[in-house]
Copies of this chain bind each other. A is one copy, B any other.
Amino acid sequence: MVVSFAQIREEYPGVFSESCPTRVVLDHVMSKWGVLVLLALTDGTIRWGDLRRKVDGISEKMLASTLRTLETDGFISRTSYPEVPPRVEYSLTSLGDALMERMLPLMEWVAANADDITAREKPARCGPSEA
């Protein structure tokens, strides 16, 4: 690994420590659903129901739970309109924006390489190469 990128260990020698706050934040933003919810929010403000439909496979429980965690962390903001039926909108805060600025390059790389990576594990992923 290039040295210039590995300086995190010098600046933050405690990142490997069990008690490091980094662990907590990492668990939130890099959780199975946290990543996808945050990514969905890079689109801009979005309603609860739209979010649920957008993040394929997420349950209501996990969506609510994930949103609350990320809101507590300060990554997203929740706006509730006193209407009936209710309308609630979520969006990234400036902190969340800063986070995603670093996360998106990683996501794009993963999205671009995921096929090749998983393909190597399952001999034939789709095409009838030798069946």
Contact = CB atoms under 8 A, between A and B. Distances in A.
Interface size class of A (residues with CB under 8 A): 35 or more
Q: How many copies does the complex hold?
A: 2
Nearest to A54: B16
A29 interface: yes
Majority secondary structure, A binding face? helix
A131 interface: no
Interface in A84-131: 92, 95, 97-115, 117-121
A40 B55 contact: no
Interface in A4-55: 5-9, 11-12, 15-18, 20-22, 24-27, 29-32, 35-36, 39-44, 54-55
Contacts of A25: 110, 113-114, 117-118
A123 B6 CA distance: 32
A56 interface: yes
B16 A110 contact: no
